[in-house]
Amino acid sequence: MKYPFKEIESKWQKIWDEKKVYKTDLTKTDKKLYCLVMLPYPSAAKMHIGHWYNYGPTDSWARFKKLNGFNVFEPLGYDAFGLPAENYAIKTGVHPQDSTLKNIADIKEMVLKMGAMYDWNAELMTCVPEYYKWNQWLFLQLYKKGKAYRKNAPVNWCPSCQTVLAREQVLTDGSCERCGTTVIQKALTQWFFKITDYADELLDGLNKIDWPEKTKIMQTNWIGKSYGTEVDFSIEGHDEKLTVFTTRPDTLFGVTYVVLAPEKEIVQRITKPEFKEAVDKYIEQTKLLTEVDRTSTVKEKTGVPTGAYAINPVNGERVPIWIADYVLGTYGTGYVMAVPAHDERDFEFAKKFNLPIKKVILQDGTNENDELKEAFTEVGTMINSGNYTGLRSDEGIKKISDDLEKKGIGRRTINYRLRDWLISRQRYWGTPIPIIHCEHCGEVPVPEDQLPVVLPYNVNFKPDGGSPLASNEEFVNTTCPKCGSKAKRDVDTMDTFVDSSWYYLRYLNPKYDKGMFDTELANAWTPVDVYVGGAEHAVMHLLYARFIHKFLRDIGLVNSDEPFQRLIHQGTITNQGAKMSKSKGNVVDPTVFTEQYGADVFRMYLMFMGPYELGGDWSDKGIVGVDRFVQRTFTLFENYKNYKREFPSKDKYELNELNEAEKNIYRKVNQTLDKFSVELEHFRFNTAVASLMELINEFKSFNECRKDLITYTLERFAIMISPLAPHLGEECWQLLGNDDLIFENAKWYEVDKSALTKDVALVVVQINGKVRAKIEVPFDTNETEVKKIIYQDAKVKSYVEGKELVKEIYVPNKILNIVVK
Ligand code: ANZ
Ligand code: ZN
């Protein structure tokens, strides 16, 4: 019979649902296991292959753990706010709430078809007041602690999406992550969360979690902790100091000019009149560039002189002050001492503008007068450096820093690349910021008992600049909670990364109304044991969530330091080498395959395609193979229907009570079980699937086996296949004659370790003292048989044929020693 996947899959889904097998008892914390996938973003009504690839295998892993006795909690929800729904509304007129709710319904329908064991009691969506109320409450706690603040700052602005973007949302080519438009800089008053207060802890915490090394490195670089020294230069004819930040104080004697970030205010004060026009023009040009453009190593260096001069504090040298966009206003002090001989950017700049290049660190094995072809940036011997000449440059860093500190013209300092998290968005579809602006009192937080500040349904999505919420008078106009006079609400909404930075805590009881989440449950269930999701979230979501978790700990709401103990990134499934995307027209629709083959086949095929953490190029070539395997499994169990009733198995067999065929099967089953568990534990699904395919091939010899041993084998096979193909597994289990459900009662089988001994031996063939071949023979084969096999080997033949046999010594299962003349 053809495997009727449609019937069988919906049958088991219904039964699982009725029996509530996926409702996790969260009060039981013994062997708790919180298995989490990154919540989907319902910007489209369809689940794409990436979702399937994230959720299917992770669910298989969770099922495997459940069968191993863990109390598994596996929830799913929706990251429902965000730009795409709003952009769609602007284009089509469909309200974001309507399109989002519809997409969520569609996605859920597909997820249900996949047959994952999500605990739907935990389901949540972020766009409802019951959820986002707590974003607002969180905002107020951050505000109270001085960790949410407003400042005017140049920000990345997408002219098309009409909103601010976080640095992470600007792609490396300077375009908007969402729409591809070139991002510009704009000065705006915005809300920030002070993630920088946690910079050190966010770094140190990386040592305590089991995350991919690559991701830890990305976070480390993103935080960018840098030890250096601030050095005070004076400005000729001004009282003001110019403090530069350098990681290389050992190169102080090689400074030939100083560079200021063009946006720094001091530029206006020191620029000489003759230079003003060019300087102003350059400042305007710089405003169009993003940080990414400015720090690009391929972009040609530009800049203009200010006409002013700085005095080097160590040797009194007078050097010109320039402005250039490669110096950022937001890093260090915004001023740089330029040392072209030892810094690549300065070298390039000096070459272009004919500024002097002065060598002060000598590369080992070179001469002082050798021409520099590029900046020498490593350790060497200090030259032309006054009293420091002759020192190794790494010692020079310490010595010069000490001396600068003693003289009070410099100080050691630490800089971070990490910026505070800019959370204001000039968009509609998000959480309103719970702040009221009063003419008399300034910014006033909305009292907690007045939360939520509800997002109104009616707004003009496309105002001419500014936030859509400003168009709803009823929303905007309010009274000041402090003085009672007329006041206005903040009209910006929060970055949706706020929503996803604590959702895993809310899953534990999404209806909880006494607080943001239930602390008792959170303490029992966090950190999340395994978190699975895309590597593209390495710095944004995964850093923000760590920050918020630590903040929540500091205000006493959780007792763990980290949100996610173990992190797995599934690989990306590409199509013809490119990431699947609508714009490239290379999206593969999973429903084509689930309709034709069913969810189990599709899930198993995705797992079989290749190593989970690598991903790879999509091809449907192998799916028929997996389909055949499923069909074969089904037919097999139909053939042995009710075997468990008629021929109950023993828990364990003694090898010497079995015949050769039985022994072989018994060994193979136990070996597979052993290997399968290890592979699955480590998310190596492809090899796990392969080991089952291998095992089923052994069943040819069932006709030589006692029937209860067939039951023994099939029971284990059904249990092993069930995490990978849950519906099929359950069906096979039932066919075999079980009354209970795998995912309700069944347990993983224990391996009979005594059956793991090898069933083949690798015999080394030595001829006249040299190893000439290694030949596999069945374990414990008698000597005559072994010799017969070995002498048939072509290589062995070539050494012994036509020669006289002098001696043969056989060490069972190990060596055959041959001496010939
Ligand atoms: C002089 C020097 C000489 C430097 C030398 C390097 C090599 P990290 O490691 O990233 O902290 N710098 C400082 N502030 C900057 C800014 N706002 N924009 C662009 N560049 C800035 O880099 C620190 C180095 O980057 C500093 O050390 C400074 O150049 C530059 F042979 O000072 B250095
Ligand atoms: Zn007021």
Separation of CA 349 and ligand 1 centre (Å):
14
Q: Which ligand is nearest to the CA of 328?
A: 1
Q: What's residue 90's pLDDT?
A: 86
Instruction: Identify the CA nearest to 72 among candidates 122, 107, 113, 139.
Output: 122
Distance 155 CA to ligand 1 centre (A): 22
Per the CB < 8 A criterion, the answer to whether 283 and 298 are in contact is no
pLDDT at 204 over 70: yes
pLDDT band at 578 (very low <50, low <70, confident <90, very high): confident
Atom 1 of ligand 1, nearest CA residue: 246
Output the residue whose Cα is nearest ligand 1's atom 27.
246
Structure confidence at residue 465 (pLDDT)? 66
* 48/587 Cα distance (integer angstroms): 8
Ligand 1 pocket: which of 229, 245, 349, 374 to mutate (most atoms within 8 A of CB): 245
- Asked if 746 and 729 touch (Cβ cutoff 8 Å), the reply is no
**C-alpha 345 to ligand 1 mean position (Å):** 9
C-beta separation of 153 from 291 below 8 A: no
Give kind and range of the element (H or E) at residue 760: strand 760-767
Report how far residue 655's alpha carbon sits from residue 663's, in angstroms, rounded to the nearest whole number: 6
Please state the atom number of ligand 1 nearest to the C-alpha of residue 245: 13
What is the reported pLDDT for 169? 77
Q: How far is CA 525 from the centre of its chain?
A: 21
Q: Which of 183-187, 205-209, 644-648 has the lowest mean pLDDT?
A: 183-187
> In angstroms, what is the span from residue 746 Cα to ligand 1's centroid?
62
Average pLDDT for 189-207: 97
| Type and span of the H or E element at 766 | strand 760-767
Burial of 773 (0-12, 13-18, 19+ CB in 10 A): middle
For residue 564, which of 205, 213, 220 has the smallest C-alpha distance? 205
pLDDT tens for each residue of 404-413: 999 999 999 9
Task: Find where tokens 């510009």 sit.
Answer: 184
Average pLDDT estimate for 380-396? 97
The set of residues, in sequence order, having a beta carbon less than 8 Å from that of 666 and lying 6+ positions away, is 653, 655, 658, 709, 712, 713, 752, 755
Asked whether 327 lines ligand 1 (CB < 6 A), one says yes
Strand pairing of 225-235 and 410-416?
Answer: antiparallel
Backbone angles phi, psi at 247, to 5 degrees: -95, 0
pLDDT digit string, tens, across residues 94-147: 999 999 999 999 999 999 999 999 999 999 999 999 999 999 999 999 999 999
Residue 287: per-residue pLDDT? 85
Position 280 scores a pLDDT of 97
Question: pTM for this structure?
Answer: 0.87
For residue 325, the CA-to-ligand 1 centroid distance in Å is 13
DSSP assignment of 165-207 equals E-GGGB-TTSBBTTT-PBPEEEEEEEEEE-GGGGHHHHHHGGG
* Residue 582 counted as an annotated binding residue: yes
**Nearest CA to 79 among 420, 507, 433, 467?**
507
Q: What is the pLDDT of residue 464?
A: 67
Averaged pLDDT score across all residues of the chain:
94
* pLDDT at res. 171: 82
pLDDT surpassing 90 at residue 238: yes
Strand 225-235 relative to strand 241-246, pairing: antiparallel
pLDDT of residue 91: 87
What was the pLDDT predicted at 258? 98
pLDDT tens-place string over residues 300-359: 999 999 999 999 999 999 999 999 999 999 899 999 999 999 999 999 999 999 999 999
Reported as a single tens digit per residue, the pLDDT across 74-94 is 999 999 999 888 888 888 999
Please state the ipTM of this predicted complex.
0.98
Which atom of ligand 1 is found nearest the CA of 247?
A: 27
Of the given ranges (179-188, 385-394, 604-613, 649-658), which has the lowest mean pLDDT?
179-188
* Percent of the chain clearing pLDDT 70 (strictly above): 99
- pLDDT at res. 5: 97
> Quick check: 480 pLDDT over 90?
yes
Tokens of 260: 């200021």
Q: pLDDT digits over 61-70, tens only? A: 999 999 999 9
- Write the DSSP assignment of 486-515 as a string of letters: EEEE---EE-TTTGGGSHHHHTT-TT--SS
Mean pLDDT of 770-780: 89
| Residues 6+ away with beta carbon under 8 Å from 24 | 71, 72, 73, 74, 119, 122
Nearest CA to ligand 1 atom 12: 336
Q: Output the pLDDT for position 512.
A: 97
Which pLDDT belongs to residue 641?
97
Q: From the CB of 246, is ligand 1 less than 6 Å away?
A: yes
- The protein residue whose alpha carbon is closest to atom 28 in ligand 1 is 246
pLDDT at position 463 over 70: no
- Mean pLDDT across the stretch 191-216? 97
pLDDT class for 299, splitting at 50, 70, 90?
A: confident
**What are residue 172's phi and psi, to 5 degrees?**
-65, -20
* Residue 557 binned pLDDT confidence (cut-offs 50, 70, 90): very high
Dihedral of the alpha carbons of 651, 654, 655, 658, in degrees to the nearest 10: -80
